[in-house]
Homo-oligomer: A and B are copies of this chain.
């Protein structure tokens, strides 16, 4: 069985292990992976993505740290059932900072505020639809 919900670009400047992290989080957000679902083993996924197992292991450790997955020793790795967010306020602040970066970038692309809001809503809508389709 192939895990089509994950694609890695080894030439990207974003680290491969982080692409795995984001890929899993996106799959969860899209409902492709659901609480309790078993993830492929470290070595299985590494084989399939043709990357080293250490890279996958690092990604899984990061995902566990963020409470996205749960590791049961000797049994495997699973999507977490109870999502825990201890430092929500910190992360919301980070999200807001990233939005400011959008606003700045949009200005340099000669997008008006209205166009930017519209762009955001379009992306959000498309994402929502893509998620329902899957």
In the complex, chain B residues whose CB is within 8 Å of the CB of A101: 22
| Number of residues of chain A lying within 8 A (CB) of chain B | 52
Interface of A is mostly: helix
In the complex, chain B residues whose CB is within 8 Å of the CB of A102: 95, 98-99
Contact with B along A66-109 (1 / 0, CB 8 A): 10101111010000000101111011100110111111111111
What separation, in Å, do the CA atoms of A120 and B117 have in the docked complex?
Answer: 8
Is A22's CB under 8 angstroms from B73's CB?
Answer: no
**A5 at interface, CB cutoff 8 A:** no
**A128 at interface, CB cutoff 8 A:** yes
Q: Which of B26, B28, B124 contacts A116 (CB 8 A)?
A: B124
